[in-house]
Amino acid sequence: MGDGLGQAAWIIRGLSIGAMSGALVGPVALLLASIKTSLHQHEVADFTTDELILLVNRIPVWALAGALFGTAGAMLGWESRKSSNSET
Protein backbone atom coordinates (compact mmCIF):
# COMPACT_ATOMS: atom_id res chain seq x y z
CA MET A 1 0.00 0.00 0.00
CA GLY A 2 2.91 2.36 0.67
CA ASP A 3 4.19 1.73 -2.85
CA GLY A 4 0.90 2.93 -4.35
CA LEU A 5 1.06 6.18 -2.43
CA GLY A 6 4.72 6.62 -3.32
CA GLN A 7 3.98 5.97 -6.96
CA ALA A 8 1.08 8.44 -6.96
CA ALA A 9 3.26 11.13 -5.40
CA TRP A 10 6.02 10.35 -7.92
CA ILE A 11 3.59 10.71 -10.85
CA ILE A 12 1.98 13.88 -9.48
CA ARG A 13 5.42 15.42 -9.05
CA GLY A 14 6.37 14.52 -12.63
CA LEU A 15 3.07 15.84 -13.97
CA SER A 16 3.47 19.12 -12.06
CA ILE A 17 7.06 19.70 -13.10
CA GLY A 18 6.23 18.83 -16.71
CA ALA A 19 3.20 21.15 -16.79
CA MET A 20 5.18 24.04 -15.31
CA SER A 21 8.03 23.47 -17.74
CA GLY A 22 5.63 23.29 -20.67
CA ALA A 23 3.82 26.42 -19.53
CA LEU A 24 7.13 28.31 -19.58
CA VAL A 25 7.69 27.59 -23.28
CA GLY A 26 5.26 30.32 -24.41
CA PRO A 27 6.64 33.16 -22.27
CA VAL A 28 10.25 32.24 -23.14
CA ALA A 29 9.39 32.13 -26.86
CA LEU A 30 7.65 35.50 -26.51
CA LEU A 31 10.68 36.94 -24.74
CA LEU A 32 13.04 35.66 -27.43
CA ALA A 33 10.80 36.98 -30.21
CA SER A 34 10.67 40.39 -28.49
CA ILE A 35 14.44 40.48 -28.10
CA LYS A 36 14.95 39.53 -31.75
CA THR A 37 12.53 42.22 -32.88
CA SER A 38 14.15 44.86 -30.67
CA LEU A 39 17.67 44.06 -31.85
CA HIS A 40 17.02 44.42 -35.56
CA GLN A 41 14.40 47.19 -35.75
CA HIS A 42 13.51 46.69 -39.40
CA GLU A 43 10.82 48.78 -41.05
CA VAL A 44 8.65 45.68 -40.99
CA ALA A 45 8.70 43.78 -37.70
CA ASP A 46 9.98 40.20 -37.69
CA PHE A 47 6.87 39.07 -35.84
CA THR A 48 3.41 40.56 -36.18
CA THR A 49 1.15 41.18 -33.22
CA ASP A 50 -1.03 38.27 -34.35
CA GLU A 51 1.96 35.92 -34.30
CA LEU A 52 2.90 37.04 -30.79
CA ILE A 53 -0.70 36.54 -29.63
CA LEU A 54 -0.60 33.06 -31.18
CA LEU A 55 2.46 32.27 -29.06
CA VAL A 56 0.59 33.27 -25.91
CA ASN A 57 -2.52 31.32 -26.94
CA ARG A 58 -0.48 28.13 -27.28
CA ILE A 59 0.65 28.14 -23.63
CA PRO A 60 -2.08 25.66 -22.54
CA VAL A 61 -1.09 23.26 -25.34
CA TRP A 62 2.56 23.37 -24.29
CA ALA A 63 1.55 22.92 -20.64
CA LEU A 64 -0.46 19.82 -21.57
CA ALA A 65 2.43 18.43 -23.63
CA GLY A 66 4.81 19.07 -20.73
CA ALA A 67 2.41 17.37 -18.31
CA LEU A 68 2.21 14.30 -20.55
CA PHE A 69 5.99 14.10 -20.95
CA GLY A 70 6.48 14.68 -17.23
CA THR A 71 4.01 11.93 -16.37
CA ALA A 72 5.68 9.52 -18.79
CA GLY A 73 9.09 10.37 -17.36
CA ALA A 74 7.82 9.88 -13.82
CA MET A 75 6.37 6.48 -14.71
CA LEU A 76 9.63 5.41 -16.33
CA GLY A 77 11.58 6.73 -13.35
CA TRP A 78 9.32 4.90 -10.92
CA GLU A 79 9.69 1.61 -12.79
CA SER A 80 13.45 2.08 -12.99
CA ARG A 81 13.61 2.84 -9.29
CA LYS A 82 11.37 -0.10 -8.46
CA SER A 83 13.43 -2.54 -10.56
CA SER A 84 16.75 -1.30 -9.12
CA ASN A 85 15.37 -1.75 -5.57
CA SER A 86 14.23 -5.30 -6.31
CA GLU A 87 17.69 -6.28 -7.62
CA THR A 88 19.43 -5.37 -4.37
The parent domain of residue 24 ranges over 9-81
User: Using CA atoms in the order 64, 19, 56, 45, what is the torsion angle rounded to 10 degrees?
Assistant: -110
Q: Does any domain span residue 37?
A: yes
Q: What is the pLDDT of residues 22-77, one digit of tens each?
A: 999 999 999 998 888 888 777 888 888 899 999 999 999 999 999 999 999 999 98
Distance separating alpha carbons of residues 68 and 45, to the nearest angstrom? 35
**Alpha-helix residue ranges (DSSP H) falling in 1-88:** 2-23, 25-40, 49-57, 59-87
Q: Does any domain span residue 77?
A: yes
Distance separating alpha carbons of residues 12 and 16, to the nearest angstrom? 6
Angle subtended by helix axes 49-57 and 25-40, to nearest 10: 160
Q: Does any domain span residue 1?
A: no
Q: Does any domain span residue 14?
A: yes
Query: Domain count of the chain?
Result: 1
Q: Does any domain span residue 42?
A: yes
pTM: 0.78
> What confidence score (pLDDT) does residue 1 get?
39
Q: Does any domain span residue 59?
A: yes
